[in-house]
Amino acid sequence: MLRVYLLILILCSPAVVQATEYQCKVEKKFDLEHVSTSDEIKRGQFSVLVDEKVSATFISRCSFSSSDQKVTCDRYEVDKVIFDDVAKIKKYYVFRSQFDVQLFPNLLFMENNGRGGVAFGRCTLVAP
């Protein structure tokens, strides 16, 4: 009976069933050859969604698609998540697509696309 009670307690624990989601809006974006203007960023509607689930973590990179005439997102499963206890920075790596996203304690973020492009902005906690 004690084992059943402990199993129920573990499965119902908030740490087990809780997911966290951050919506991150790009405010600055540049690469080795170009710095995006505020108008380009506004038109592009660039954003990053970090979706941490119990079983896996996903990153979605979103922007306005002129062919679809709406914002579309590419979703990637995160290969590795690192948390730096000293700096309190969480870093999400997607190896196959060669990019990473860093989330800072003040909810600023940085996306490194792995090909010389970097985007910065601020996140909001959508789901705790």
Query: Do 93 and 80 meet the contact criterion of CB atoms below 8 Å apart?
Result: yes
Model pLDDT, residue 17 = 52
Structure tokens at 107: 């909810």
* Residue percentage of the chain with pLDDT more than 90: 81
Considering the segment(s) 19-127 as one domain, its CATH architecture is: Beta Barrel (2.40)
Query: Do 104 and 7 meet the contact criterion of CB atoms below 8 Å apart?
Result: no
Query: Do 86 and 99 meet the contact criterion of CB atoms below 8 Å apart?
Result: no
Domain ranges of the chain: 19-127
Model pLDDT, residue 18 = 72
**7-24: string of b/e by CB count within 10 Å (b at 16+)?**
eeeeeeeeeeeeeebbbb
Confidence of residue 31 (pLDDT cuts 50, 70, 90): very high
pLDDT tens for 84-96 read 999 999 999 999 9
Side by side, the strands of the sheet bearing 57-65 are: 70-77, 57-65, 47-52, 20-30, 118-127, 108-112, 99-103, 89-94, 80-84
Structure tokens at 104: 């800072």
Whole-angstrom distance, CA of residue 111 vs CA of residue 92:
10
Model pLDDT, residue 19 = 87
